[in-house]
Amino acid sequence: ADVCVGGRSDMSLEGLRRTFREHVFYTQGRFPMGASRNDLYMALAYTVRDQLLHRWIRTVEQLGREDIKIVSYLSAEFLLGPHLENNLINLGLYEDVRRTAEEEGLDIQVLFDQEEEPGLGNGGLGRLAACYLDSLATLEIPAMGYGIRYEFGIFDQEIRDGWQVEHTDQWLRLGNPWEIARPEITYHVNFGGRTEPYEDEQGRYRVRWIPYRTVKGVAYDTPILGYRVNTCNLLRLWKAEAVESFEFEAFNVGDYYGAVDQKIYSENITKVLYPNDEPIQGKQLRLEQQYFFVSCSLQDMVRIYKLLGGDLSRFSSHFAIQLNDTHPAIGVAELMRLLVDENGMDWEPAWEVTCNTFGYTNHTLLPEALEKWPVDLFAGLFPRHMEIIYEINRRFLDEVRNRFPGDEDRVARMSLIDESGERYVRMAHLACVGSHAVNGVAELHTRLLKEEVLRDFYEMMPEKFNNKTNGVTPRRFVVLSNPGLSRLITGKIGETWVSRPEELRRLEKFVDDPAFREEWRRVKLENKKNLARLIRERTGIEVDPSSMFDIQVKRLHEYKRQHLNVLHIIALYNRIKQDPAYDVCPRTFIFGGKAAPGYFMAKRIIKLINSVADVVNHDSDVNGRLKVVFFPDFNVKNAKFIYPAADLSEQISTAGKEASGTGNMKFSMNGALTIGTLDGANVEIREEVGAENFFLFGLTAEDVTSLQKNGYQPMEYYRSNPELQAVIERISSGYFSNGDQELFSPLVDSLLFHDTFMLLADFGAYMDAQRQVEEAYRDQERWTRMSILNVARMGKFSSDRAIREYCKDIWKVEPVPVTLE
């Protein structure tokens, strides 16, 4: 291999140094003296990419073997984060390259800082997809990620006068050295028009789709290297372009300006990532995005499969396709169309192939987040898919009627079409019916899925349902983010824990070793100092690294209850105001997270946090004992400074609302203790680390349901809790808003009169649990012990474990080691 790629795959330090210099000159077109920071970053990125390339080519060659099965992970979001540092770690080159750079007078951190992260996702769901790609490669599973190459990812957040201001994310501005454009890999994707029946040569009834418009999808590939293996999988993202020659429906033939318009229209499809906003049912462009990337991806798989001479009736033994939520669920109808209309298969065998190919992961129970599309919109864009969905539905409802004779209510509930008012296509039902496996993302979530949202489906086909508790990659979230802790752990138990984190259990025998505990605290303190420095840079606020760092970072949403955290802060503040000698445990409350631009309440919560911060941070009675910080623009890049610096992790969603959570895992793996509800994966984290090492509070999911059923009255909790009253009074009096009593009244009114997420019901229990946190923190030896045990027992939450389960139970795939010869 070395022969054909010249010297660039040479991993020796001398080789790397030479390749780097070549890239400065030949790729960036600079003499070393004239090179900018970005030139140097780009040259280093290309040097590292060169190292990936022959691993990548060897891996892709394997994908072409007929006897192996490939996982296709279909996701509208991949929240990858910066590549450079991660690739260096996975290659095992981090130390060498750092030292070599140093010898050249370069600070490698400065080059890392230069990288713009691809923010092609909203939060947990997109980051999960990125962790899963890392684990698939690390476990040497042949896999492809398929998604959308958004020109603008998640917006950048600025905080101005306490409010969130959004800026477009221009991640491609300075070029992207990690992707390789594949202009020769393109597919046509059709929209609109009508269908037409015809007879084929054998006289069989067929349907063809005569579209109104066609868009071209172009592939952009990013290599995804596993940890210390040669497997380098591929993330293929699609960009929309105009087709070169387009036969317009008569009216604008020869119309140059019309053609240019058309070009803009086409390229719009992959312009921008949609935020998790209010319900999106009406957003045509979003539905177009979904179909666009799904169609390109499925056409790509069919092409690859046919190239190998594969027989489409055996497609499902070569591809396992996972639907990351319902965003790609239209794939069920699209694969049917490709098999039946485009490849002449009969319905029944095509349906069998389809069901055997797809698996579906559900990521939310929130009714407003379940995707449904108005039938008119859907049929207008995809007339053929609409027919296919009706046919799937007809056959499916026949089965329902067979199984449950006379139960027409059930038929209506299970139909792929919601006909209770305006008619909608229910994407979760389509995904469920068209998949052989359906899973939730934590034990509790899967149970609620079976009992509530997909109950009828579970009753009819229980064998499809299974749980796959989420996981996160210890490479990015421990090794890369927390080098100090990683060194300490490796010094004690060796480095095998990085790919086998169950080995972390071996740390347990050191919990009583005072020297080890001392070291453990020293590492945490270093991390807190680093975060304190960053906080000063980004916000101007001075925080004390010896105070407890109490952190809540995640998207802003009422169900995540950042405002419950704020109520606690105000309660502590009130105690100090009442008695300035009150013995409060010094704490720094840190928040971070983006609010969807159209989400009014979430934006008010950000303003509330900043307003409370302004008052608390400058009150001389508080005297620096409490500090409140809103860390702007929380993203994957700055997450690495946040998780390792936490003493306390806030996981306080209303029970039953957070499907899993993954931030909870990132914190705990870095030695934070959790204060949390029995929600999502918190339940399992508590089981693993031990109830005595977790601060539990609040209603259970069952309590929440029954309270709701019996008519929840937030006022009752308000009336019976004077401290709560004083907290609410502080807000509504205008104390935090220069006397303005209107500013936060929407928040206060929502709590007092609706309180959909039951903050008031949980307030008392939360205060009690926070009291226990304080008590534990005052005993630093005890706290350290708990912290060590958390890390030692978090092995289960590695994404490697999750991916092994998907491979065994759903995808039926095996590792295929890649050799470089």
- State which of positions 604-633 bind ligand 26V (CB under 6 A): none
DSSP E strands, 522-658? 548-553, 587-592, 626-631, 648-651
- Residue 660 makes contact with ligand 26V by CB under 6 A: yes
Pick the closer one to ligand 26V by CB: 221 or 325.
325
The contacts of residue 285 (CB under 8 Å, 6+ apart) are 268, 269
Q: Among 57, 185, 243, 369, which residue interacts with ligand 26V (rule: CB under 6 A)?
A: 369
Pick the closer one to ligand 26V by CB: 89 or 803.
803
The contacts of residue 412 (CB under 8 Å, 6+ apart) are 419, 420
Catalytic residue, chosen from 446, 662, 674, 677, is 662
- Residue 364 makes contact with ligand 26V by CB under 6 A: yes
The contacts of residue 112 (CB under 8 Å, 6+ apart) are 82, 84, 85
- Residue 125 makes contact with ligand 26V by CB under 6 A: yes
- Residue 658 makes contact with ligand 26V by CB under 6 A: yes
DSSP tag of 378: H
What the block records as the tokens of 396 is 């499916």
Distance CA(643)–CA(11), nearest Å, equals 32
The contacts of residue 800 (CB under 8 Å, 6+ apart) are 135, 138, 139, 471, 473, 474, 499, 501
In the complex, minimum distance from the CB of residue 174 to ligand 26V, in angstroms, rounded to a whole number: 29
Pick the closer one to ligand 26V by CB: 2 or 451.
451
SS3 201: coil
Q: Which stretch binds ligand 26V (CB under 6 A): 182-190, 360-368, 416-424, 690-698?
A: 360-368
- Residue 661 makes contact with ligand 26V by CB under 6 A: yes
Q: Which stretch binds ligand 26V (CB under 6 A): 124-132, 534-542, 717-725, 766-774?
A: 124-132
Q: What is the 3-state secondary structure (H, E, C) of 684-723?
A: HHHHHHCHHHCEECCCCHHHHHHHHHCCCCHHHHHHCCHH
Catalytic residue, chosen from 23, 318, 468, 554, is 554
Q: Tell me whether residue 363 is one of the annotated catalytic residues.
A: yes
Q: Are residues 683 and 443 in contact, defined by beta-carbon separation less than 8 angstroms?
A: yes
Q: Among 52, 88, 128, 130, which residue interacts with ligand 26V (rule: CB under 6 A)?
A: 128
The string of DSSP codes covering 288-345 is: HHHHHHHHHHHHHHHHHHHHTT--GGGGGGTEEEEEESSTTTTHHHHHHHIIIIIT--
Pick the closer one to ligand 26V by CB: 272 or 628.
272
Q: Among 285, 366, 541, 765, which residue interacts with ligand 26V (rule: CB under 6 A)?
A: 366
Catalytic residue, chosen from 23, 54, 286, 363, is 363
Q: Among 39, 325, 334, 550, which residue interacts with ligand 26V (rule: CB under 6 A)?
A: 325
The string of DSSP codes covering 611-633 is: HHHHHHHH-TTTTTSEEEEEESS
Looking at the DSSP bridge assignments, the partners of residue 182 are 219
Binding mask 412-441 for ligand 26V (x = CB under 6 A): -----------------------------x
> Which residue in 514, 481, 445, 453 sits closest to 641, CA to CA?
481
Instruction: Give the phi and the psi of residue 651 in degrees, each rounded to 5.
Output: -130, 75
Distance CA(676)–CA(664), nearest Å, equals 9
- Residue 598 makes contact with ligand 26V by CB under 6 A: no
Catalytic residue, chosen from 327, 429, 560, 657, is 560
- Residue 350 makes contact with ligand 26V by CB under 6 A: no
Pick the closer one to ligand 26V by CB: 517 or 554.
554
Q: Among 161, 368, 742, 821, which residue interacts with ligand 26V (rule: CB under 6 A)?
A: 368
Q: Tell me whether residue 662 is one of the annotated catalytic residues.
A: yes
In the complex, minimum distance from the CB of residue 659 to ligand 26V, in angstroms, rounded to a whole number: 4
Pick the closer one to ligand 26V by CB: 101 or 365.
365
- Residue 677 makes contact with ligand 26V by CB under 6 A: no
Q: Among 662, 670, 750, 784, which residue interacts with ligand 26V (rule: CB under 6 A)?
A: 662
Distance of CA 352 to the CA centre of its chain: 31
- Residue 659 makes contact with ligand 26V by CB under 6 A: yes
- State which of positions 231-290 bind ligand 26V (CB under 6 A): 276, 278-279
Q: Tell me whether residue 522 is one of the annotated catalytic residues.
A: no
Q: Which stretch binds ligand 26V (CB under 6 A): 43-51, 359-367, 426-434, 634-642?
A: 359-367
Binding mask 36-75 for ligand 26V (x = CB under 6 A): ----------------------------------------
Q: Among 363, 385, 426, 604, which residue interacts with ligand 26V (rule: CB under 6 A)?
A: 363
Q: What is the 3-state secondary structure (H, E, C) of 411-473?
A: HHHHCCEECCCCCEEEHHHHHHHCCCEEEECCHHHHHHHHHHHCHHHHHHCHHHEEECCCCEC
- State which of positions 726-765 bind ligand 26V (CB under 6 A): none
Pick the closer one to ligand 26V by CB: 366 or 696.
366
Distance CA(73)–CA(224), nearest Å, equals 13
- State which of positions 680-709 bind ligand 26V (CB under 6 A): 680
Q: Among 81, 118, 124, 223, which residue interacts with ligand 26V (rule: CB under 6 A)?
A: 124
The contacts of residue 582 (CB under 8 Å, 6+ apart) are 575, 576
Q: Which stretch binds ligand 26V (CB under 6 A): 39-47, 363-371, 694-702, 754-762?
A: 363-371
Percent of the chain as helix, strand, coil, to the nearest 5: 50, 15, 35
Q: Tell me whether residue 555 is one of the annotated catalytic residues.
A: yes
In the complex, minimum distance from the CB of residue 128 to ligand 26V, in angstroms, rounded to a whole number: 4
- Residue 470 makes contact with ligand 26V by CB under 6 A: yes
CA distances 206 to 209, 342, 346, 392, 659, Å, are: 10, 10, 10, 16, 43
Distance CA(431)–CA(594), nearest Å, equals 29
- Residue 651 makes contact with ligand 26V by CB under 6 A: no
- Residue 176 makes contact with ligand 26V by CB under 6 A: no
The contacts of residue 722 (CB under 8 Å, 6+ apart) are none
In the complex, minimum distance from the CB of residue 327 to ligand 26V, in angstroms, rounded to a whole number: 9
Pick the closer one to ligand 26V by CB: 366 or 816.
366
Q: Are residues 669 and 793 in contact, defined by beta-carbon separation less than 8 angstroms?
A: no
> Which residue in 612, 618, 631 sits closest to 737, CA to CA?
612
Residues belonging to the active site: 363, 554-555, 560, 662, 666
Residues that bind ligand 26V in the complex, under the rule CB under 6 A: 124-125, 128, 276, 278-279, 325, 363-364, 366, 368-369, 441, 470, 658-662, 680
